[in-house]
Structure 1
Amino acid sequence: MSQSLSNARLDAARFIQERVRTVDDWPQPGVQFRDITPVLQDRRALRTLIDLFVQRYIDAKLDAIAGLDARGFIIGPILAYELSLGFVPIRKKGKLPYKTISQSYELEYGSATVEIHEDACKPGDRIVLVDDLVATGGTMMAGKILLERLGATVVEAAAIIDLPDLGGSTLLREAGVPLYTVCEFAGH
């Protein structure tokens, strides 16, 4: 990668990070919620964000983009469209209308279960798994497990934000999941 391209990507990542809003004590005391809404509302920031992901995956041999409920549903379909790929939704329990398989996991302030349609992808499909951020890594790991149970390969997990102090990015990498994030925030 050329130095100017590398610098442009760093500048773009900084531009995105500067637009992420921190909401203290939400959804519970002690949590610093990283809100991507300002990124989505700013047409230049949204375009910059999607362009970063498109440039990362434009030459990858992929079959689909999978997005995690709910904010992965915002980024994932746009990225899938830009790459001329299909989109696979991974939803919270009870939200998908057809036959599903499910996976439970722990997150930073509780537990949850996600589901995927049993025919969402086929064995051998190469998929990038997308969400807004990586905190404890539970949601991404649950998505990875579901896709792999259907026979797909998770080529990479991708998120806008990494919260490395919560350990999720380490958990994913130690589980053999390559991870790409645009920016990171220290602390909880």
Structure 2
Amino acid sequence: MVLWLCDLQTLKGRFHTMLAVQSELISAIRSIPDYPKPGIVFRDITTLLGNPRSFRRAIDELVHPYAGTKVDKIAGIEARGFILGGAIAHQLSAGFVPIRKKGKLPHETVRIAYSLEYGVDEMEMHEDAIAPGEKVILVDDLIATGGTAEGATKLLQQMGADIVAACFIIDLPELGGRKKLEALGVKVRTLIEFEGH
């Protein structure tokens, strides 16, 4: 009985801590209405990145579930995924792999086409960036429709990566991106959700 109460207290404490973290992160993110077009609320994480306490909190919370887990590489999606991914790679003692828009990497690459809301684009990574079987976490700042993250996931799978998870600070659940990744068998970790677009 005492053990059960201790576990309950631990869970209760973690829940309250997570609520405090979510509140802090939400208040550190600037919301810009009608950008880049009317009806869209842009979630600008540059204010979070500029706040040392909030930036550290976000990285710590993204890393927490994987501390002690073998992770070989962090794959960051251009551009904010580079900032977050580099910090996460450092904390997990993992390598960092950039996933970039086509034509931006200097060596031989592997490329994949992916769907955008209004068209198709391509992303790529160096052909020797990930060895088959390496454990990889995919990172970006936000998941919305999931087109970019889905493309990055398929690119990593094409390379033979064992995707541990995909991590994002923000989820816009109404747009369904999380479900796309989960349908590919990828665990998704997000820290906060915003309604709408």
Q: Compute the displacement of 1:110 (Å).
A: 4.3
Q: 1:101 and 1:137 mapped to 2: Cα distance?
A: 20
Matched, 1:47 2:60: no
C-alpha RMSD over aligned residues: 1.3
Q: Could you list the per-position Cα deviations for residues 5-50 of structure 1 after superposition, in whole angstroms to 9, with x for gaps in the alignment?
A: 2321221122112211111222223222111011001111011111
Unpaired stretches in structure 2, ≥5 consecutive residues: 1-9
Q: TM-score, normalised by structure 1?
A: 0.95
Contact 1:108/1:135 (8 A) holds in 2: no
Contact 2:62/2:189 (8 A) holds in 1: no
Q: Compute the displacement of 1:89 (Å).
A: 0.5
Q: Compute the displacement of 1:108 (Å).
A: 3.4
**Match of residue 44, structure 2, among 15, 35, 40:** 35
Alignment of 1:16-165 (within 5 A): 16-165=25-174
Q: Against the structure 1 CA distance between its residues 60 and 110, is the aligned structure 2 distance closer, same or farther, given a 3 Å change threshold?
A: same
SS at match of 1:120: coil
- For these two proteins, the number of residue pairs brought into alignment is 188
Consecutive aligned runs of 4 or more in structure 1 exceeding 6 Å deviation = none
Q: 2:140 and 2:63 mapped to 1: Cα distance?
A: 15
Q: Against the structure 1 CA distance between its residues 23 and 108, is the aligned structure 2 distance closer, same or farther, given a 3 Å change threshold?
A: farther
Q: 1:120 and 1:26 mapped to 2: Cα distance?
A: 35
Q: Could you list the per-position Cα deviations for residues 62-103 of structure 1 after superposition, in whole angstroms to 9, with x for gaps in the alignment?
A: 111110001100100011011111001100111111111111
Q: 2:36 and 2:144 mapped to 1: Cα distance?
A: 14
**What is the identity, as a one-letter code, of the residue corresponding to 1:166?**
L
Q: Which residue in 2 is equivalent to 1:13?
A: 22
Identity of aligned residues (%): 47
Contact 1:24/1:32 (8 A) holds in 2: yes
Of 79-88 and 26-35, more deviation after overlay is shown by 26-35
Of 105-114 and 158-167, more deviation after overlay is shown by 105-114
Q: TM-score, normalised by structure 2?
A: 0.90
Q: Against the structure 1 CA distance between its residues 77 and 174, is the aligned structure 2 distance closer, same or farther, given a 3 Å change threshold?
A: same
Contact 2:171/2:192 (8 A) holds in 1: yes
Give 1 or 2: higher helix fraction: 2
Contact 1:122/1:151 (8 A) holds in 2: yes
